[in-house]
Chain A
Amino acid sequence: MEDEQSFSDICGGRLALQRRFYSPSCLEFCLSCPRITLRSLTAVTCTVWLAAYGLFTLCENTMILSAAIFITLLGLLGYLHFVKIDHETLLIIDSLGIQMTSSYASGKESTTFIEMGQVNDVVINEAIYMQKVIYYLCILLKDPVEPHGISQVVPLFQSAKPRLDCLIEVYRSCQDILAHQKATSTSPEGGDKIISASNRRSHSGMGAYWHRQEDKR
């Protein structure tokens, strides 16, 4: 099932949050950033070309004009391929992990996947950004040395920068899945969480024994 809501980012631009519910253990959020507008494109192009024309009247060299055209084209292509992000997607799969994908305007996609074993929690943090106080959603990664420590903070939706109301929606759904995952976790480190003995998988005891027997061989 799929639904779409409209929010705004910290600068006032319009964002669209699409939520896809594949199963109780798999959820996908897609946040679309504001598109590049014709007005800004025209403004930049005109500025560059006027500057080039000004230089041309000083130097009388026609290479400047062709160079300005090349620079505009290459700059636009580079901007679309490396800088402008079209939408950002967050895919949470219970017991597998969390995947963040950024799709650029030229179609390029850059993906990062974090396994569930490394995820400590998903929280909303406050930050001071220039003259504003903004909120951002981030994933806290576990520290392998210290069981309750945090080794790294991975921020989400960095280029969309949604406001708190949008973040709360995403946060609630993430927490549902994480709570469900922790409740059914079979990892040995989960022993200190609130899990009743009757909830344990019947095969996990034998399976763990099986695995250790294999290692001892």
Chain B
Amino acid sequence: MGLVSRGAAEAGRGAASAVDRPGPPDAVPNPTPTPPAEGADPGSSRSPGMVLKAFFPTCCASADSGLLVGRWVPEQSSAVVLAVVHFPFIPIQVKELLAQVQQASQVGVTVLGTWCHRRQEPEESLGHFLEGLGAIFSHRPWFQLCRERGSKSWSCKATHWQGPASPAASGEDQVMLIFYDQRKVLLSQLHPPTALPDRQAGDTTASAGGLAAVFDTVARSEALFQSDRFDEGPVRLSHWQSEGMEASILVELAKWAAGPVCLFLACLLSLISAASACRVFKLWPLSFIWSKLSTCEQLRHRLEQLTLIFSTRKAESPAQLMRKANMLVSVLLDVALGLMLLSWLHRKDLIGQLADALIPVADRVAEELQHLLQWLMGAPAGLKMNRALDQVLGRFFLYHIHLWISYIHLMSPFIERILWHVGLSACLGLTVALSILSDIIALLTFHIYCFYVYGARLYCLKIHGLSSLWRLFRGKKWNVLRQRVDSCSYDLDQLRLLVVAVQGLIHLLVDLINSLPLYSLGLRLCRPYRLAAGVKFRVLEHETGRPLRLLMQINPLPYSRVVHTYRLPTCGCHPKHSWGSLCRKLFFGELIYPWRQRGNKQD
């Protein structure tokens, strides 16, 4: 394998010549290799003005003279320079090193040309020496980059050997230099633009050339960057890590400790999930209650996430790694916020104050509701026309309130202990505390929820009635309602509206905390080059006669696409709820179910 054997094979097929030369084929590139035509006219196969691209790392711009090592991508006519090999070197050792790297990384790394960094233009003898190197390492085209020390003028040419017989006729092509930051391109992950929905995955290979090939080459050539200048190897390289390998003690310690810790936690979590699966939860009343309480759903969701994070299998793809990292950061933030809440509650002894204030507040609310109902059951001017329905509904609601007050007074001795234990659950995370709060509100205000249901149903009927009357007014005759339902003077009471809205908001907040990809957003904020949507180019100072120089920078992904791509899947229990639909349901009188709803029940 390697350049020498391939070049020899080409030469052997074409002509019996000791020097490697490609020979100019006149045919268009086709899959079957055509033998290069021997003795064809060297000048006619050159198209005028062909521009080659050379991607050069910015870290090597100040390196000493040497050989350029990298990969040649013929479809893009571009050369990606990965490192510079310094003088003195032994060609055999360089070839061995490149063969090793090629085997380790499956990237076709070869010697692309020479790099010259001196005080003045190279003298003739050096020029011949550099060209002589082109004979040892046969690669076509052969790049010769040159820079004067301390100035901004670069020169580069790419030559095609036509053979030792006519060195003067060797063609030269124009070269465009594109500088790139090797470390950022190595760590960056390119996100292709969102494809139209009906594209298959196989189509992207055709258009994945160009810059994706450059990013891919640099990312896969890590084996080449493993040695720095303090190593005593036979070959001295310059690349982004040649000043010293980049590593962090904390990261290494974390990696070393992650193995046993993950194993231990995975066993613990599997025990917990086995225990929760095999108890008497399958019996009907309990399973119904557990499925309705949002606390249980949240705990189950967190358990699944923790199992995924601490599983001992490594992540297969970068997307999975991102998802694990997002989940971990989200869980840590949740626990941190929960502990903060706990310390705040205990510092101000809010639990005791809350427990003391609960009973008087409940009494006051019940009293106000009773006054309201008495007033509505009475005869305020011109509000209702259906006294019988008023009396029935009013008495029904008054009985509800009476039951509720008795229930609160029954529970009053235990309130403080219950609240203290609930506060302790904030250790598991802020979302768990919010879920418990939501469940408590639901249980305490169940009677108000019943009133809301009755009122909302009647309001909905009234709206339907009005709309059918509107149709009648416009001349449509069908679906006329015979009797008016007027007792919708029980309009959405402010209290009921507030309670239901608060429950909906709490659920939406929990969903938001669950599904926001915090690690990806943090990465986009602090290390924007890691998530790349594309690249951008800037033209550097240009002098006539010198090659064109461009600087390639990474264009980071916009925040909306980060959230969209890396959003965590929630447990899917609120398929219809969003902020907009919550408001819409309140306005039109559709029912809001404050507990978790499975399936799409539409009454």
Question: Out of B29, B53, B174, which one reaches A188, CB within 8 Å?
Answer: B29
Hey, what's the 0/1 contact readout for B145-178 against A, CB within 8 Å counting as 1? 0000000000000001000000000010010101
A201 & B26 in contact (Cβ 8 Å cutoff)? no
Q: Are A206 and B25 in contact (CB under 8 A)?
A: yes
A144 within 8 A of partner (CB): yes
* Bound: A192/B450 CA distance, A: 74
CA distance A82 to B206 in the complex (A): 36
Whether a CB of chain A sits under 8 angstroms from the CB of B599 is no
Contact B26–A117 (Cβ < 8 Å): no
Residue among A23, A25, A118 facing the most chain B CB atoms (10 A cut-off): A23
Contacts of A144 in B (CB 8 A): 199, 203-204, 206-207
- SS class of chain A's interface: helix, strand, loop or mixed? mixed
Partner of B51 from the list A95, A187, A206 (CB cut-off 8 Å) is: A95
Residue interface bits B17-41, CB-to-A below 8 A is 1, else 0: 0000011111111010110100000
A66 contacts the other chain (Cβ, under 8 Å)? no
- Asked if B537 and A99 make an inter-chain contact with CB atoms under 8 angstroms apart, the answer reads yes
Task: For A213, list chain B residues within 8 Å (CB).
Answer: 6
User: Which residues on the B side are within 8 Å of A93 (C-beta)?
Assistant: 176, 537, 550
From residue A65, how far is it (CB to closest CB) to chain B in Å?
A: 31
Q: Does B555 touch A at the CB level, under 8 Å?
A: yes
Q: Which of A107-115, A128-136, A162-170 is the contact stretch? A: A107-115
**B26 pairs with A91, CB closer than 8 A:** no
Q: Are B74 and A207 in contact (CB under 8 A)?
A: yes
Q: Mark A128-149, 1 if CB is under 8 A from B, else 0.
A: 0000000000000010110000
Residue of B24, B178, B203 with highest tally of chain A CB at under 10 A: B24
Quick one: given A26-B548, A94-B51, are A202 and B46 in contact (CB under 8 Å)? yes
- Judged by a CB distance under 8 angstroms, whether A24 is at the interface is yes
Pick the contact of A201 from B50, B534, B542 — CB < 8 Å?
B50
Task: Give per-residue flags for B339-376: 1 if the beta carbon is below 8 A from chain A beta carbons, else 0.
Answer: 00000000000000000000000000000000000000
Q: Within B403-456, which residues are at the interface with A (CB < 8 Å)?
A: none
B162's closest neighbor in chain A, by CB?
A202
The distance in angstroms between the C-alpha atoms of A183 and B42, with both chains bound, is 20
Digitize B202-239: 1 where CB-to-A-CB distance is under 8 Å, 0 elsewhere.
01101101110000000000000000000000000000
**For the complex, is B249 an interface residue (Cβ under 8 Å from A)?**
no
Most buried by B among A112, A198, A206: A206
Residues in A with CB closer than 8 Å to B528 are none
Shortest A144–chain B CB gap in Å is 4
Write out the residue numbers on chain B whose beta carbons fall within 8 Å of the beta carbon of A207: 29, 72, 74-75
As a 0/1 sequence over residues 526 to 540 of chain B, the CB contacts with chain A under 8 angstroms (1 = contact) are: 000000001111010
A199 at the interface (CB under 8 A from B): yes
Which of A24, A96, A99 has the most C-beta atoms of chain B within 10 angstroms of its own C-beta? A96
Q: Let me know if B140 is at the binding interface, CB within 8 A.
A: yes
Say yes or no for B251: interface residue by CB 8 A criterion. no
B49 within 8 A of A: yes
Chain B residues positioned under 8 Å from A211 (CB to CB): 73-75
Give every chain A residue within 8 A of B108 (Cβ-Cβ).
Answer: 210, 214
Task: Give A182-217 as 1s and 0s: 1 = Cβ < 8 Å from B's Cβ atoms.
Answer: 011011100100010111111111111111111000
User: Does chain A have a CB within 8 A of B45?
Assistant: yes
Expressed in whole angstroms, the minimum distance between the Cβ of B128 and any Cβ of chain A is 23
Q: A-B pairs with the 10 shortest C-beta distances?
A: A207-B74, A202-B24, A208-B29, A205-B25, A111-B536, A199-B47, A144-B203, A202-B45, A115-B210, A209-B33
